[in-house]
Chain A
Amino acid sequence: MIKTFKQLFLAVLCTLLFLCSSCLRLDDNLFNPDNTITEYKFDNYTGEVDFRLGNSYTIPQNKINRLTFTSQTPGESGSYTIHGVYLGDLNRIATDTVIMYCHGNRDHMDFYWQRAKLLANTGQKNRYGVLMIDYRGYGLSEGEPSESGLYADVNTALTWLKQNGLTSDRLIMYGFSMGTAPATIVAAIPISFALRPAKLILEAPFASAAVMVQDASRLSIPGTFVTDLKINNAEEIKKVQQPFLWIHGIDDDFLSIHTHGEIVYQNYGGSQKTAIRVPGADHDEVPLKMGFNEYLAAINNFIRK
């Protein structure tokens, strides 16, 4: 038995040492996509979601516009077909306010459909247009997820909005969780993107890859020890001058409100910031624990003031 154990141990060790010959990083852990679906089901999606809205929030079919874009990362030769959905009247993009919703790191748009639909009820049903996309590698969108891909795909969507008549003063960037990275970057470095948002909303943002690493290790080590991710909302937010709304669940057990959200809020570089700390809310429970009406009222008040 001892001999068998020794052989097994050495076999496992040799295998791991062999695997170790190629370098690994934690970068891919940021992304948790599901690209196995064959179609988007939206209201008919029966998979796991954070919450489901009642019938009163239903968006008319003629206001649900399926879209595809071609996205290309600057400096790269390949391009990818990216899928998106616009909730609202396409003809009103040239005159109305639009919320660009950057979803989190899970699955695909079906998972976030209820959230986008809820936002499409801000003010009143279809008062504002809402655009959501699946980043590359998510859902039906081609390619593999990457940090540079996030920004390129969001810029592709913004370019489409601009081509349809949207101007910067009517663009609201909304980021949730991982989506707070492209939302913040667009607001912080507008010269790199097709539009400069008028306002920024971040729900449950993370501070930086370094904070994630330090929270998990308990040691004050550089994020670069294990990841090449450059995402750093805590620094980028210093460049943001647009009005800023931050919403975070106090009981967020994924991205702590103390080590992530509060740092982003504290570092905001502008002069108009609003914080909503939601008691009892975990990472994905903010709209639910706030109450949908109160959540929508807060969003609407921020957009209108």
Chain B
Amino acid sequence: MPLLCLLACAPTRYVRPLAEGELAVGADLGGPLISFSDVVIPLPLTNVNVGYGLTGNTTVFGGLHTTALAFKLLQLDAGAVHAFRQPAGFVPGFSASGTLNLMTGLSDWQTRLFPQADLNAFWEHGARRNVIYFGMSNWFETKSTRAHGEEQPAHWLPSLQLGYTFVRSKWDYTVELKQVAFNQDESKIVVDYYGPGDKGASGVYFGLRRRF
């Protein structure tokens, strides 16, 4: 379980908000690419999530990270996305989201909370208004120290994502590429992440969502 997945365990929750009063339930699969026995594979990380359209521009959402749970780590996220500009032709729409990520170790109940802020540009096309999006996700580490009282070196962990959502009448299918923690040198750690150079890790994610 390469641990960058803790901050790269899912594709972007919502880029375009749901319609007002709309409920959606989804699941995601995928993760950072790793070199495993000389083969590059995406980690099969999973989560289940739910979203609800408060207004046409604002959706609240939450998720449970099921693979983390298998490692006795309860990882939950909850947040809201707001579209402050709708797309029009080639002019993209923009949305921003704020998320709190909660991690609780089920072996000793130690808990950490990580804020996250995302910004995405998105375009719609086709009769079903499929979505293509590009954006940046930012995790923040608020602790100043790490193990053995050493200084915590990284407080900002940004990722870039590029995704596409096929929209059908009740189902959405998303594929997303992500460059995780691209400001971090990964050349001197025990895990062989895969990506361009020694910075961060590349990830591939698939999402499935049913709207009600």
Q: List the interface of chain A (C-beta within 8 A of B).
A: 2, 5-6, 9-10, 12-13, 16-17, 19-26, 207-208, 210-226, 228, 234-235, 252-256, 258-259, 263, 267
Contacts and interface: CB of A to CB of B under 8 A. Distances in A.
A214 B66 contact: no
B30 to A, nearest CB: 10
A31 to B, nearest CB: 13
A59 B174 CA distance: 62
Contacts of A219: 3, 6-7, 112, 114, 139, 141, 154, 157
A4 to B, nearest CB: 12
A225 B67 contact: no
B189 A9 contact: no
Given A23-B70, A218-B141, A219-B112, A207 B148 contact: yes
Contacts of A21: 70
A83 B46 CA distance: 42
The 7 residue pairs across chains A and B that have the minimum distance between CB atoms: A217-B3, A20-B70, A210-B147, A216-B3, A220-B143, A220-B146, A256-B188
Given A17-B46, A218-B4, A5 B189 contact: no
B34 to A, nearest CB: 11
Interface stretch (B54-62, B103-111, B117-125, B130-138): B103-111
A255 B190 contact: yes
B181 A218 contact: yes
Contacts, number: 136
A267 B147 CA distance: 13
29 contacts: A2-B168, A2-B171, A5-B173, A6-B208, A16-B46, A17-B46, A20-B67, A20-B69, A23-B72, A210-B146, A210-B148, A214-B146, A216-B4, A217-B4, A218-B141, A218-B154, A219-B141, A219-B154, A220-B112, A220-B146, A221-B6, A222-B110, A225-B103, A225-B110, A252-B188, A253-B188, A258-B188, A259-B150, A267-B148
A16 B29 contact: yes
Interface of B: 1-4, 6-7, 27, 29, 44, 46, 66-67, 69-73, 103, 105, 107-108, 110, 112, 114, 139, 141, 143, 145-148, 150, 152, 154, 157, 166, 168, 171, 173, 181, 184, 187-191, 206, 208
B187 A253 contact: yes
A25 B3 contact: no
Nearest to B171: A6
A48 B83 CA distance: 56
B173 A208 contact: no
B189 A215 contact: yes
Contact of A16 (B44, B143, B190): B44
Contact of A224 (B27, B46, B105): B105
Contact of A226 (B71, B181, B189, B206): B71
